[in-house]
Structure 1
Amino acid sequence: MSDKSSVIEFKTDRIVCVDLDNLHLFGEVIDTIAVSSRYWVRPLTIAKSTPESFKLEFLHDLRETAQLILPTNLFRDALDTEVLPLISELFHPTKDSEKAVNAQRVLYQFITSIYRSHRHDCRSTDTL
């Protein structure tokens, strides 16, 4: 019996999120890779939330970056209240957003941090 909650299976075109502290990677599910429990995802944006108000702020447009294949257990369903303002900002920016100039680097740093965090969590549970 596992003490981990079961992973929700997201369908194609679903908007999902990976959280790391106050940063949130939003992406669109392209496909499920069931044999290895991974999702193939098209990144949309990385947003930052303010801890005081839990309001999401647009950070980086990642639509021109590489697609990702990540473990299913990293993802959660993105809430409509998170997605609608971000999609609106992506397609109709109200301010100058940081575009693809730094987007690939930002995405790489985020994914590296996710794997470091995940690896650290695995090691700490192995010693219990």
Structure 2
Amino acid sequence: MSQWDIKPAGVRGVISRTSEVIGKLGDESTSYSTHTQSAAGHAGALVGPCDASQGLVGLALAAYTQHATPELAFIAVRAKKSLQGAIDATAAYEEGDLEMAANKQAAACKAPTPEELAAVLGKRGDKK
């Protein structure tokens, strides 16, 4: 007897609901980046003997955004990769190919590649 005992219709339902949430996460990520950059630009500037175009709060927001943007991209790519792995493994399971299902599941568990991350960051115009 197989170690796999899944209900493909249930998997499809979970994938559908999760895809909706991930789609919203992508929109929120783009909005987050835009809004924090805007906040950084409007946080005031330093005045005095060495005027700066941006204040300390603005600099901190810009630095944080620069750090957080790739992290958010990682989350989005990882979630998409996990969903695709579930889809592929379930399809293989339905075809009776349990070895392929296990291989698809294992591939989905791997961290995103730099190329996968660059594709997401490039779509949003963000640079690391």
Larger Rg: 2
Same fold (TM over 0.5): no
More strand by share: 1
Higher relative contact order (CA 8 A, sep 6+): 2
Q: What TM-score, normalized to structure 2?
A: 0.31
More helix by share: 2
Q: What TM-score, normalized to structure 1?
A: 0.31
